Copies of this chain bind each other. A is one copy, B any other.
Amino acid sequence: MPSQRALTFNPGTFLKKIGKCSTSRGYRNKELIFAQGEAADAMFYVEAGNVKLTVLSKHGKKAVIAIFRQGDFFGEGCLGAPSLRMSTATAVRPSTIVRVEKIAIISIIHDDPLFARLFIAHLISRVTRTEEDLLDQLLNSSEKRLARTLLLLAGFGTQSKPHPAALKVSQGTLAEMVGTTRSRVSFFMNRFRKMGLIDYNGSLHVHWAVLNFFLHK
């Protein structure tokens, strides 16, 4: 019953398989990893630090698609039809990133059926996550979206650890994630604080239980 086996995509196992076909490298804060428009020829893995994926529209408006943390993969787009990067990846703090050549992954997919299956499960979870983001946009007001973004940043929903504080994300970035303006984010953040959903004097602390209640009622 192979279908009953655990389907969690284990980055450790994966990286072991990749072995010599990957290269690890440090990035400074704000350093570019890849840029929108470049050819996509490799995938990446966050060994330490954080990475921001942004898109710049024709009209100069910016949006943040995702923020990755330790253990996340990004840049999977290279495995589809040959294409260009849709987004720009930037380190948002000193980070260690593993680069895996497209050709290496393809060959593992070819040689290891179990890996292929896990990788597919991984992609499905990415589709699911992206669809949730889309639905959030379609269904909720910017206030709710901000609340959800804060919860996710606090690590809510990720395994067992409702992350302490972790990410330092500016209100500007929050605005680009939520799809609104910075002044609006500032307004809501203060409201959340008054309502006791979050604390912040310098660093942010999310009261996830209360905030989660707020989000769903």
Residues of A whose CB lies within 8 Å of any CB of B are: 2-3, 7-8, 55, 57-59, 61, 63, 65, 76-77, 79-83, 86, 102-103, 106, 109-111, 113-114, 116-117, 119-121, 123-128, 130-135, 137-139, 176, 179, 216
Contact = CB atoms under 8 A, between A and B. Distances in A.
Contacts of A7: 80-82
Contacts of A138: 63, 137, 176, 179
Contacts of A121: 79-81
Q: How many identical subunits does the complex contain? A: 2
A126 B55 CA distance: 18
Contacts of A81: 7-8, 121, 125
Contacts of A124: 76-77, 79-80, 123
Given A7-B80, A86-B128, A124-B76, A55 B135 contact: yes
Contact of A63 (B58, B135, B216): B135
A110 B120 contact: no
Q: Which 4 A-B pairs have the closest CB atoms?
A: A80-B124, A137-B137, A116-B116, A138-B179
